[in-house]
Amino acid sequence: MLSRHRPSPAWYRSEMFPGPSVTAAADVVDYSRNQGFGIYHAVGSCAMAPDGDAVVDADLRVCEVLGLRVVDASVLPFHASGHPAASVMALAWLAAERLMAG
């Protein structure tokens, strides 16, 4: 299979993450679960939640701070599979609708 691909670029030296020693599929899954980063798009630091412990409410307003909303991946309670661009765009549409409504 690899013979069908072009050689790696000259700047590529070796695999960084999870590293060349991780070869079994289960080890790759374990690494992903333990490291848990998603292309540096932080999620959950301002997560919405139905209980009273959330940083933002369902209208994306920061609790106890008048006039401040958060509209980025940090309000997502968990990382969706794939790139977060579509999720953040949906949040932006939601925020725009809520702002227009008053």
Active site residues: 41
Q: What are the structure tokens assigned to 96, written together? A: 């725009």
Name all contacts of 89-98 with Cβ < 8 Å and 24+ positions apart: 91/60, 94/60, 95/60, 95/69, 95/71, 98/59, 98/60
- Distance separating alpha carbons of residues 44 and 47, to the nearest angstrom: 4
Q: Which DSSP helix (H) or strand (E) runs through 22?
A: none
Residue with tokens 């933002």: 56
